[in-house]
Chain A
């Protein structure tokens, strides 16, 4: 008994987590940087284990897209990849902060693209400056409608929004395939699947506002969304209600926040922004509704939202970083023959390390034996 007893004390002395009286602001800023650093280290080891020069691999992923010989091509790609991620993640941040888990942004993204494209194609080949804005509105509406399904089911019947929104992604993917092969198929496309090219039709095209910069309307919308989200969360009563509901649901009810209204609003915001992202993608970088239109932005945006600490500015930076690993990862695949799975693993590590070091924000780590203790620990005899 005495032996076990001492072991218990020693075990407690190794590493201890001590709750901080207040979450540390310094650590909440430092943890994303620390997570990136740890990812670089572990990623370097991973690449070395695959027989590649780790420094060359990291340079290809993180440096070359920005400053390498092909940066004239890759820099616009960064914006093109970051825009939908930031747009979707900003919307998700509202729900996540309030404890409402919309996991189905990918489906809302697809529905936004489908609805927007359908409205545009219905007017083809008319020429009007009003068509593109109308398509944007239709895209937003499509995303909102798709998000309202899990929202209303949750409010009315108490269903789990995680499951419903996730399952609706698969429904959306099948709708996409059906539309690309059926009603939205290009009548002049010689039977190939896929719609008319919206990027080549003057009324609907979403091209770079400044040539060869990647700065299309989606980038502008993402920046506007970040700014609006920042103001809403920091300065508006709605943002306060969102944060309050996430931190202390009973206090939120006491403050007069209606849970049902909050679910509908947060789901509408995330669905609407995801729908807009889909519309900007289908009219610009993707160009058409095709079977392989959904490439997972809606899922990656969840990582971006958390990497950015559910803070609009953080999400902006996290979206750019994630875009960098996409673009750089592609280059590493082509130039260094790194397997695609290694790149996915690398991106996953980023979230893994972030969540792990996140503990430091709320807790203090103590190594070794805790502060002064009575000399030799008196063993417990009384039990025997």
Chain B
């Protein structure tokens, strides 16, 4: 994009630089977003995408460089000023209150909300005009993730923005819901608004976006027309190296290792999902892929398998033995290991060292204690083995878990379980928020583990990932698990229906 065209741009960034202690998040970034376009911002985790959009939204102040909005200097000190200037943003993590209804949630995000009755009317109008059906009187806690996202989008649209920033919007949507979202974004584009679209899903960028700017290591490495570039080309620009597809060695499928029979469990959280009559069976050497839109019982399923939620003995069995009543460490001793979704605070303690985090789940199987007394030398050795085997980038096992980037901590957390040689491994969102290189390493490690005869359950919202590594696919919907079906031959439409097409509410 040249300077000459830049004068017509709605948003133009020139030489933006932002450094944090120890890392330059953005280095001399320039780009232009034209009105009436959907502009993709592509890059691995840590490439500087979020810092850049946070700068545009007034959450981060640049060290150097200038911004202009519609040809005028633009330097928001806080999001309120950005919104006043016509810039709106939908975050990856929603900021909604479960216990309030849609209209109340929208009002909370506005500077001077009109009376609730008028607001409800406007919500109905806007949501109808943009094909985003939404009932202002419903309580947010009862909405699906796709509907929650609509609340956020409608909240933005009520401000009549000129530029809408969307951070990984489809990560929580079914294919049908994503299709509705794309139609809305195209309509916004046709009205002459601009959309800055962050994603790592290359196929959807090719389908939706008019221009793409690719960031790597904080710099702009390329701009391209995503409609003409191939997904592979863009991925390699993003990573800066050629990518390997995960390869699998077929294992002879063995006897069922992990089985659930009629498992029902109440969620420990308010607004959680109750598991209802969940049954599944995973054989040695097999990868069962469990899909589903966020909040349909994924967390609860993991808790019920790890032993944090206990059930009747026979509802969970491992190698034919009932284990449903056992505590986490008793299940670990028998060979059932888990890696929860939330790295910071659930799978790992952020303020503890990697050595301590290695002890957290490795205590039983790696024999890291003697009659209760911790062998810290052995724990450190175990941490070091995980770091080496999974290429975790860190100064060493004494570093605090929270000092690691998301991808590195995820490699540590998954690697910690794999190195304990489980008979059955359950992972939830193994590559969520992880850069492409780390994600491919983690998927490969899961496939290798299955090839060695482990029964693997992968719970994820990333359909590409599930279809990539799963042998059979099942979907969670409102706490119920569908029948598992072999992955080869499954179409995206069938999967969408399995995920519960009812969320889509045909546009």
A-to-B contact residues, CB < 8 Å: 5, 8-9, 12, 18, 21-23, 235-238, 240, 243-244, 247-248, 250-256, 258, 370-374, 377-383
Contacts and interface: CB of A to CB of B under 8 A. Distances in A.
B328 A240 contact: no
A253 B306 CA distance: 10
B346 A383 contact: no
Interface in B36-73: 61-66, 69-70, 72-73
B494 interface: no
B78 interface: yes
Given A256-B327, A377-B75, A382-B72, A5 B346 contact: no
Interface stretch (B135-143, B241-249, B348-356): B348-356
Interface residues of B, number: 54
6 pairs of A and B residues whose beta carbons are closest in the complex: A378-B73, A256-B328, A248-B349, A256-B329, A382-B85, A8-B77
B349 A244 contact: yes
B70 A237 contact: no
Contact of B63 (A22, A373, A381): A373
Contacts of B62: 374
Contact of B346 (A254, A370, A378): A254
Given A251-B346, A372-B64, A240 B374 contact: yes
Given A5-B77, A9-B77, A371 B63 contact: yes
Nearest to A252: B349
Contacts of A382: 69-70, 72, 74, 84-86
Contacts of A9: 61, 77
Given A9-B61, A9-B77, A382-B85, A254 B340 contact: yes
B21 interface: yes
Contact of A255 (B64, B81, B345, B361): B361
Contact of B361 (A236, A254, A372): A254
B310 to A, nearest CB: 11
B81 A256 contact: no
Interface string B342-370: 10011111111000100111010000010
B363 A22 contact: no
B376 interface: yes
A251 B78 contact: no
A147 to B, nearest CB: 23
Contacts of B345: 248, 250-251
A337 B483 CA distance: 84
Contacts of B373: 235-237
Nearest to A22: B400
Contacts of B350: 247-248
A251 B76 contact: no
A372 B399 CA distance: 30
Contact of A378 (B66, B84, B342, B376): B66
A195 to B, nearest CB: 41
A365 to B, nearest CB: 13
Given A237-B372, A256-B329, A244 B64 contact: no
Contacts of A5: 75, 77, 81
Contacts of B319: none
A374 B68 CA distance: 14
A254 B66 CA distance: 47
Interface in B296-310: 306-308
A236 B372 contact: yes
A256 B349 CA distance: 14
B402 interface: yes
Contacts of A378: 66, 73-75
A235 B403 CA distance: 24
A238 B372 CA distance: 7
A224 to B, nearest CB: 18
B306 A254 contact: yes
Given A236-B374, A240-B374, A382-B85, A254 B403 contact: no
Contacts of A235: 373-374, 376
Given A237-B374, A251-B345, A371-B63, A380 B361 contact: no
B141 to A, nearest CB: 20
B312 to A, nearest CB: 19
Given A9-B61, A248-B345, A254 B308 contact: yes
Most buried by B among A22, A251, A373, A380: A251
A21 B376 CA distance: 24
Interface string B316-343: 0000000000011100100000101010
A129 B456 CA distance: 64
B412 to A, nearest CB: 13
Contacts of B76: 380
A12 B58 CA distance: 13
Nearest to B75: A378
Contact of A383 (B19, B81, B332, B338): B81
Nearest to A382: B85
Contacts of A22: 399-400, 402-403
Contacts of B75: 5, 374, 377-380
Contacts of B69: 382
